[in-house]
Chain A
Amino acid sequence: MRAPMSWLRDWAQLGDDVTVDQVAEQFTRLGLTVERIERVEPGWSGPVVVGRVLECAREPQKNGRTISWCLVDVGHHNADSAEGVDTHRGIVCGAPNVDAGQLVVVALPGAVLPGDFAISARKTYGHVSDGMICAEDELGVGTDHTGIMVLPETVDGRALVPGEDATPLLVSPDTVFDIDVTPDLSHCMSIRGLARELAGALGAPFTDPVSLTTPDPVAEGYPVRLLDAACPLFVAVTVDDLNPTAQTPAWMKRRLELAGMRSISLAVDVTNYVMLETGQPLHAYDGDRLQGSIVVRKAHDGEVLTTLDEQERTLDPDDLLITDDSGPIGVAGVMGGASAEVTETTRTIVLEAAHFDAATISRGMRRHKLPSEASKRFERGVDPGAAYSAAHRAADLLVSLGGARKRTTETVTGKVPVMPTQTIAASLAGDVLGVEVPTEQVVSILQSSGVQVDVAGDRLHLVPPTWRPDLVDPYDYVEEVGCKVGYDHIPSVVPRAPVGRGLTRSQRLRRAINTAVAGQGLVELITMPFINDRDLDRMGLPAEDPRRRVVRLANPLADTAPYLRTSLLPGLFAAISRNTSRGNDDLALYEAGSVFLAREGAPTAPSPSVDARPSDDELAQFAAALPEQPRLLAAVSCGAWTRPGWRGAGLPADWTTVVAAADAAAEAVGVTLVRRQAEVAPWHPGRCAELLVDGQVVGVAGELHPSVCQAFGLPARTAAMELDLDDLIAADPGRGVLAPLSSHPVAKEDVALVVDADVAAEEVRQALVEGGGAMVESVTLFDVYTGPQVGEGKKSLAFALRIRAADHTLKDAEAAQVRDAAVAVAVERFGAVLRD
């Protein structure tokens, strides 16, 4: 809502000393956010004065033009004349309409006009031109350049005097407040409402532009029938004999423009002006084009209407219509139809001032995507008590500005709806706000907001004014009192929460995982969680892969990515491309976040009542309706892990990088991941491992399939890992045991085992661990050898065993025994051969 200061002052009698900043501050304190303050000022500086053309001599020029040599009386400015004459100045004027006797606007030397156009005495066409007679566009007060501006002899009954400053005649400095009105403050979508709030805040008198009381129903004017409860009140006032050539006066045009509306015609401008002032949208019908009674009803199925924007719209049975015998002539409160619209020849006007249900208008406006100044007001709620007064104000303006005649007969169909009453404890506001507000103050605040207050002991019976549809619940009144008391008067008190338990174990572990993976040298990203079929295809996922159980959005941000992600990898792949395109080639990235997996046959989510807690069944139905949303952790790596440097050769950011990240995550939880050779998309079939905890697969890691790298444009041998954080955290071993340490010496035994080349090293290691028994402290692989010494299809795995007893120092023979037992299991399981 754009509100010119001058218009607010019409109704709020503010003192002259009230400043723009004060007004803005009061609006802000009331919750009327001032988005912008625009100061309207003349676009010039220096002397721009009223002048009387005394003589005007036409002088044809060689170039074909005719100029006028004018002697202009500029009052006390005459003395400055360069030609020493004290009764006038000589000015050359090229405009055809200049003539002796006119009052004109003269820019004198020293003035600077818009566009940095400095005026000075200059020689031209054989004269010294000592100023300029101005056209509208030269001053920026209009666009007319067909001739100079000719001023009237009198303004507001006062005769203009040559030499007086013309600036106030041309531009009155004003200030426009552009206010963001929240949906609850519907009454502030008008000058009336804003002036009321401002006057209240500054303690200034307020005059209500809505001064007439709505009479009982009367049907003497234009016939109207209301067939739907969404229109409880319809006022129709008719004016005749409108002068079709009457123009909108400049002051009204200007106010409309300052308020952000364009001037169209007198009839339309008057309805808009009254709407801006009172908040009541009006509609003007051409009385000669209306056919039969106006009927307000819901649309029939399939009904169509051509709206003012010349669009044919199919109507919805929920649309509230204004109709006459010809059919629909407008969507109520949203947009008029073309058939009964006023034209430049309209002489009889039927003014509609009706009240419509806010929700109905809101739905209609959205359905037809027709936000208008009228629908924006109706959807918030318009004061039904203003309709009658607004209709008459518009009619009166058409009378005074357009020479029209107001009929004495009128139509008032329906009634101003009764406002809902409320009873609250007198102490409620103070109790909720946390600051003491005496009952007398509560009462006086509410009364000045127009609320009718009856005090009954410690209770207040309240009836809101018709312009406050937002005052319904007890807390609505609390807010009203709070705003007027001022939120800055509320003290600051930290509430004492009960003893808290801190982060949950899951939250702590997730933070520990995040810290560990970042500490491992990977960089966390947050990517957009949307994917498409192509992503799934490029990953090479088979049809039955659970990651194809996508959840589709009905209105995705981009049609190219209509699904919610089922894997974090596509987002990370895109991040790799973006990084490499920016020259960031060495990457180890990770993301932790939710993915979304559709559930087959999930029920529709329930929609319980909002008056009571949902039942347990309804809550269970919510749980069943939601897709699975597991939290995953994924990592990708490519390029170099370390670059070659002074310490030697570098290391690639290969599959070991992402496995190490997974291991770090598991270590943060306190579990050890076991890797098992696997073949899973999108990984390289020979370089892929499932990650297991307690025999359960929680993730997959490895090098990506070359065709996946190619499809996503990733560097060759990019590696990736994805694991289920929820599963990993579920494996949390809980509280550990600080077992006593053996202080006896360790025995070290190395063994080299020759096994088939496709035997997994980890499985051999596990066999040694199991075979060695309790005294085996650790088994570590330290060498892998393939070559002629072990033969084709074989490999040698060298392990270091650390063996220690809890209670005594091991003899060589005992250690050897443990070693042999360990090897025996590897021999049994894998046909391993011990190398010498």
Chain B
Amino acid sequence: MSGPNTNYDPVQVAALDEAAIAEMVDQAVTAIRAADSIAGLKQARLDHLGDRSPIALANREIGALPPEARRVAGQRIGQARGRITEVFREREAEVTAAELEATLRAERLDMTLPVELHPQGAVHPVTALIDQLNDVFTAMGWEVAEGPELEGEWLNFDALNIGPDHPSRGTTDTLFVDPIDHGLVMRTHTSPVQIRALLNRDLPVYVVCPGRTYRADEYDPTHLPVFHQIEGLCVDKGITMAHLKGTLDHFARELFGDVRTRLRPHYFPFTEPSAEMDLECFVCRGESVGNPDRPCRTCRSEGWIEWGGCGVVNPRVLAAVGIDADVYSGFAFGMGIERTLMFRNGAEDMREMVEGDVRYSRTLRGGAR
């Protein structure tokens, strides 16, 4: 080892010789680039940048050089270190990325494994449909009115111009609360809610009344003794049958798309004029009529589906709730929810709607509601 103050040419110190340093750099770069793991890279750094690396050892020789040569040698060493460090960083990034990628590959999972954390819940199709119908009408500015299922006979019948001798008031049609002379029935339609709305709300009234209704009816694929209806009532100044038609057309479009509707004269005590509302079959659009090759299950090849009843509110009904029929007029309509589900969603047996099979409620999903 040379001592200080000796007048040496740096070129004469072998370790600081330009070619030697270039050789060190080459070796270091080769080693670092050869490393293919974090551990190998660490070893390469120790070997070529560590305290005992050739470059470090060469650095120690600088002190032996004459002062004027130290600057050049120092620069040479510094550049070499910089070059090695740069290559190291590059390689370190490459190896880290490769190792991460390998790790991620190793961590691959079967992402098709079932992930259900808890069972799939569901609201009942009847509830879902009622919610949807309520939304259609609230969007038009209407409100949703409700009332008791066990109702006064007067509110269910008399106020609706269904007189005491009307056949529907018999025990074969209506469920009476015991004793019969207490005047309480299970409502046979949601119309008493309309009466309550007219008694309790300020005019004008625009309400829909969804809810459960009861009839002493058969329990078969197309009849339930306990079922749901939605009825609508509008009482305002200047209301005509054209407004009824417009409302039903809008309602039908919201629910079934672009279909035509038809009003057919009918009879109800609480409306006059009264009509049945038919919906153009939204499946066959009437093409199944008289066409045995293309039968339609939805409309039974009739082209029209009977949807519900409607009409202009009978002035007698307005009189019973104290509304001046010379100033106000209105319309009302009503349809069965289960029946609507039947033809809208192809349900074949209404009884399944109340049997309580857990699979039934889960059947209708998302947009199919």
Interface residues of A (CB under 8 A from B): 28-31, 33, 182-185, 359, 362-363, 366, 431-435, 473-476, 478-479, 482-483, 487-488, 490-504, 507, 511, 514-515, 517-529, 551-557, 564, 571-572, 574-575, 578-579, 582, 584, 586-589, 593-594, 596, 602, 604-608, 610-614, 619, 622, 625-627, 629, 641-642, 645-646
Contact = CB atoms under 8 A, between A and B. Distances in A.
Contact of A524 (B123, B180, B225, B236): B123
Given A502-B138, A564-B150, A611-B319, A584 B273 contact: no
Contacts of B20: none
26 contacts: A29-B265, A362-B165, A366-B167, A433-B240, A473-B315, A475-B273, A491-B242, A493-B246, A494-B243, A494-B247, A495-B246, A498-B206, A507-B146, A511-B131, A518-B122, A523-B121, A524-B127, A525-B358, A526-B126, A554-B171, A557-B216, A605-B184, A606-B154, A608-B158, A627-B177, A629-B150
Given A433-B240, A527-B354, A359 B143 contact: no
Interface string B128-156: 00010010001011111010111111110
A611 B141 contact: no
Interface stretch (B7-15, B32-40, B111-119, B292-300): B111-119
A575 to B, nearest CB: 3
Contact of B357 (A488, A490, A494, A584): A584
B212 interface: yes
B107 interface: no
Interface residues of B, number: 97
A564 B175 CA distance: 11
B124 interface: yes
Nearest to B158: A610
Given A500-B141, A594-B212, 16 more contacts: A31-B264, A182-B266, A475-B273, A482-B273, A492-B249, A494-B250, A495-B247, A517-B121, A518-B122, A523-B362, A524-B122, A553-B175, A575-B355, A605-B154, A605-B184, A642-B116
B204 interface: yes
Nearest to B131: A511
B118 A488 contact: no
B183 A606 contact: yes
Given A183-B267, A593-B212, A625-B183, A587 B240 contact: no
Contacts of A363: 165
Interface of B: 113-114, 116-124, 126-127, 131, 134, 138, 140-144, 146, 148-155, 158-159, 161, 165, 167, 170-171, 175-184, 186, 199, 204, 206, 212, 216, 219, 225-226, 234, 236, 239-243, 245-247, 249-250, 262-267, 272-276, 312, 314-316, 319-322, 329, 353-359, 361-362
A479 B358 contact: no
Contacts of A30: 265
Nearest to A431: B240
A359 B165 CA distance: 7
B262 A610 contact: no
- Chain B interface, DSSP helix/strand/loop, else mixed: mixed
A518 B322 CA distance: 43
Contact of B356 (A525, A555, A606): A525
A525 B359 CA distance: 10
A472 to B, nearest CB: 10
Given A488-B262, A500-B141, A554 B320 contact: no
Contacts of A183: 267
A157 B161 CA distance: 58
Given A491-B242, A557-B216, A519 B267 contact: no
A475 B272 contact: yes
> Which of A33, A554, A629 neighbours the largest number of chain B CB atoms within 10 Å of its CB?
A554
Given A487-B275, A584-B359, A499 B141 contact: yes
B176 A578 contact: no
A432 B124 contact: no
B325 to A, nearest CB: 9
Contacts of A589: 356, 358
Contacts of B250: 494
B355 to A, nearest CB: 6
Given A526-B126, A610-B319, A475 B314 contact: yes
B165 A579 contact: no
B226 A607 contact: no
Contacts of B265: 29-31, 479, 482-483, 487
B224 to A, nearest CB: 9
A434 B321 contact: no
B267 A610 contact: no
A627 B123 contact: no
Contacts of A627: 150, 177, 184
B140 A552 contact: no
Contact of A641 (B118, B272, B275): B118
Given A475-B273, A578-B356, A593-B212, A495 B243 contact: yes
A476 B265 CA distance: 12
A362 B170 CA distance: 11
A473 B186 CA distance: 30
A185 B140 CA distance: 36
